[in-house]
Chains A and B, each alone.
Chain A
Amino acid sequence: MATAAAPSRSFLQVAATEEAVAPPLRVVQMEGLVILKIIKHCTEFSPALVTGQLLGLDVGSVLEVTNCFPFPIREEDEEIEADGANYQLEMMRCLREVNVDNNTVGWYQSTLLGSYQTVELIETFMNYQENIRRCVCIIYDPSKSNQGVLALKALKLSDSFMELYRNNEFNGEKLREKNLSWVDIFEEIPIKVSNSALVSAFMTELEADSPVTQSDYDRIQLSTNPFMERNMEFLIDCMDDLSMEQQKFQFYYRNLSRQQAQQQTWLQKRRAENMARKAAGEEPLPEEDPSNPIFKPLPEPSRLDSYLITNQVSNYCNQINRTSRMVMLIHHILAWLFRPQVSLPRY
C-alpha cells in the first residue's frame, strides 16, 4: 500500500528519483499489528531469545513495517539450516498470495534486560546490508515491559562504523581518525505507530471501560527488586569482562613498548658494529633485520569487543538509573500518603 507522499507525482516517479540519493533514515513507522505480533512472540518464549522477520516498504526517509513473521527456534544442525531457509521462502510466498508486502526490511529479536549488543548482531546487520539497502533491527525487551513501559527500540548500525567493520580496521589510529567512540556504533531511530482506520474503529469500540489499565498497575508496583538485582548481576559481569579487555590492552602496550626498547638496543648494537666495521674497512651490515623476531609486528587486539561491552554496561546503567528514579518517585508519594506533614528532601 503506497502512501501518497506527494500526490502530484506517481509512485513510479518517486521510485525513479530514489536511485539518485538515498535520504537518511529518519523514522521507522510500524503498524499496531506488528507491535502486537512481536510482543506475542517474544513474551511466549521468554526467557528464551527469539527472532523474526520484518516486512514492509522503504519510502523516502521513512521505513514502513507493515507485517512480520516469527522464525522457529533454530537448532545448530546443518539439515535444519536448510529447513529454516525453506520456512522463510514458504512464509514469504504464502504472505504474497494474500497481498502482504513481500519486502524484507529487517528483523526483530527479543532481548534479556537489554544485553543485545553482541558481535552476532553486527554480523547479522552486515549480512542483511549486503542485500537490502536499508534495514533495521527492532529490539523488544519482555522483562522491562512487565514494568509498564513499552520497551521497543529500532536500531541500525552507523555508516562510519560499517565502513570500518567491512575493512576490518579496528585499531586505535583509524578510530581516532574517524572520531568513532562506542556511542557511535548503534544509531537508535524513533518509532512512529500507525494503524488503519478500520482497526482504529474497532479498538475505539472495544476499549476497556475502566479508567485504570494493566499498565498502570504495573507502573506503580514497588517490587522492582528482582529486576534491579538481575540488572546489577549483569552489570557486574560486564564490568569484569571490561576489565579483562582493558588488561589485554595493557598487556599489548607493555609488550609493544618492550619490543620497541629491544629494537632500540639491537639498533644501537648494530650501529656500534657498523662503526667498528667501517673503521676496519668492511661492509656495514643493514640496519634492519626482518628475520629477527623482535621486529615482528605485534597484532593489536581489536577494540570491537570492548566497545560492545561498553555499550552493554552503559545500557544497564541507564536502566538502573531510570528504574531507581521511578521507584523513588513512588516512595515519595507513599511517604506523603502516610505522613503528609513530613517533607522528604528532593533528589
Chain B
Amino acid sequence: MASADQIVLQFFPLSTSLSAKVHPLVIFNICDCFVRRPDQAERVIGTLLGSVLPDGTVDIRNSYVVPHNESSDQVALDIDYHHNMLSSHQKVNPKEVIVGWFSTGFGVTGGSALIHEFYSREVANPVHLTVDTGFTNGEASIKAFVSVNLSLGDQQLAAQFQEIPLDLRMVEAERVGFDILKSTSVDKLPTDMEGMEATMEQLLALIDDTYKYVDDVVEGRVAPDNAIGGFISDSVSSIPKISPPAFDKLVNDSLQDQLLLLYLSSITRTQLSLAEKLNTAAQIL
C-alpha cells in the first residue's frame, strides 16, 4: 500500500472548534523537568492536568513529568508513577483532571502515537502539547494537537495529529512581572514604590507616543488612521465631565480619608513603642 501522503484518505475534520489555553506554570514546569532529565533521555514526557471550560476550551493548569524509556521501536511509560502522582495531585485539588499529555521536542514522532493511545484510554480526546526546547527554527514553538482517526472506508488506518489553536496569554506571569521571570537572576523583588514608578513611566511613555502621533497626523507627516483616531477620542472622552468644584470636593474628601488613615496608623505605631517600653521596663523592686 502506498504511503499515507500519496493516497487521498478520508478524514473527518474536527467539527467542534477545540482550543487550548496554557498557564505559564506549565511551561516553567516542563522546562524545569527537561533540564533535570536523566542523561540518556532525549525528551521528557508527562501528564497535563486541568479542566474543560464550559465553552469547550481546554484549560491546562498544571503538569507533572512521568519517567519513561524510549528506544527506536518501543516506548515504556511508568504507569504506576503516573497514577500515584495523579492521586497525590488530586488530594490537593480534586478539580484538576487529566486533559492530555506533553512532550518536549519539535513535532510529533512515531512513539507519540502509542503514548497518545494510552492517554486516550484515560480521558476522552486528550490534548498533546509539544514544547520545543531545542528551539529548532530558531523560535520557541509550543503547539497543541488532538488526534483524529484516519480511515479508509471502514478500515481504521492511522491517527492524524491535528493542530488546534493555543492561547498563550499569561496573565499570571504579567502579575508577577516579566522582568522577574525573564532574567536568569534578579537581585531583589521590586517594592511597591518601584513598581509604581515603573507604571508611571509606562503611562508617561504611552501619553508621549500618542501625543507625537497626533502631532504627526496634524502636521501631515503620517497618514491619518481613522480607527486609531476613534480610539484616541474614545479614551479622551471617557474622562467624566465633572464641574470643577464637584471634582475638587471629590478629590479632597478622598485625600482627607487617606490622610486620616495615615495619621491613625502613625499614632498606633507610636502607641506600640510606648507600650513596649512600659511593659518591659516595669520592675518590682
Contact = CB atoms under 8 A, between A and B. Distances in A.
Given A198-B31, A327-B254, A333-B200, 16 more contacts: A40-B23, A94-B85, A97-B67, A147-B192, A149-B192, A150-B176, A176-B281, A181-B280, A195-B184, A199-B181, A203-B181, A205-B139, A216-B199, A314-B272, A324-B258, A331-B254
A326 B28 contact: no
B92 A211 contact: no
A41 B91 CA distance: 13
Interface string A181-207: 110000000111111111111111111
B196 interface: yes
In this complex, the interface size class of chain A, counting residues with CB under 8 Å from chain B, is: 35 or more
Interface residues of B, number: 89
Interface stretch (A5-13, A113-121, A249-257, A283-291): A249-257
B151 interface: no
B88 A94 contact: yes
B214 interface: no
A269 to B, nearest CB: 22
B28 A193 contact: no
28 contacts: A1-B36, A33-B28, A40-B25, A40-B61, A90-B88, A94-B81, A148-B199, A150-B190, A175-B280, A191-B189, A195-B184, A196-B35, A199-B27, A202-B31, A203-B178, A206-B168, A212-B206, A214-B174, A216-B198, A220-B203, A232-B261, A235-B265, A249-B282, A253-B282, A317-B269, A317-B272, A324-B259, A331-B254
A32 interface: yes
Nearest to A232: B261
The 3 closest A-B pairs by CB, nearest first: A205-B140, A213-B174, A317-B265
Q: Which of B172, B203, B272 neighbours the largest number of chain A CB atoms within 10 Å of its CB?
A: B272
A72 B168 contact: no
A307 to B, nearest CB: 9
Contacts of A338: 239, 242, 244, 247
Contacts of A97: 67, 81
A39 interface: yes
A98 interface: yes
Contacts of A198: 31, 34-35, 133
A334 B251 contact: yes
Contacts of B206: 211-212
Interface string B144-184: 00000000000000000000000011111111111011111
A303 B172 CA distance: 41
A207 B181 CA distance: 10
B37 interface: yes
Interface string B246-285: 0110010011001101101110110010011001111110
Nearest to A320: B265
Contacts of B92: 41, 70-72
Contacts of B36: 1, 98-100
B135 interface: yes
A321 interface: yes
Given A37-B25, A148-B199, A228 B32 contact: no
A155 interface: no
B202 interface: yes
Contacts of B195: 148-149, 215, 219
B186 interface: yes
A242 to B, nearest CB: 7
A234 to B, nearest CB: 12
Contacts of A275: none
B187 interface: yes
Interface string A148-179: 11101000000000000000000011011000
A211 B25 contact: no
Nearest to A50: B92
A342 B32 CA distance: 55
Given A214-B171, A328-B255, A303 B279 contact: yes
B27 A206 contact: yes
A310 B168 CA distance: 45
A249 B279 contact: yes
Nearest to B28: A33
Nearest to B23: A40
B217 to A, nearest CB: 21
Interface in A84-103: 87, 90-91, 94, 97-100
A346 interface: no
Interface string A299-311: 0000100100010
Contact of B192 (A41, A172, A253, A326): A326
Contacts of B251: 331, 334-335
Nearest to B283: A172
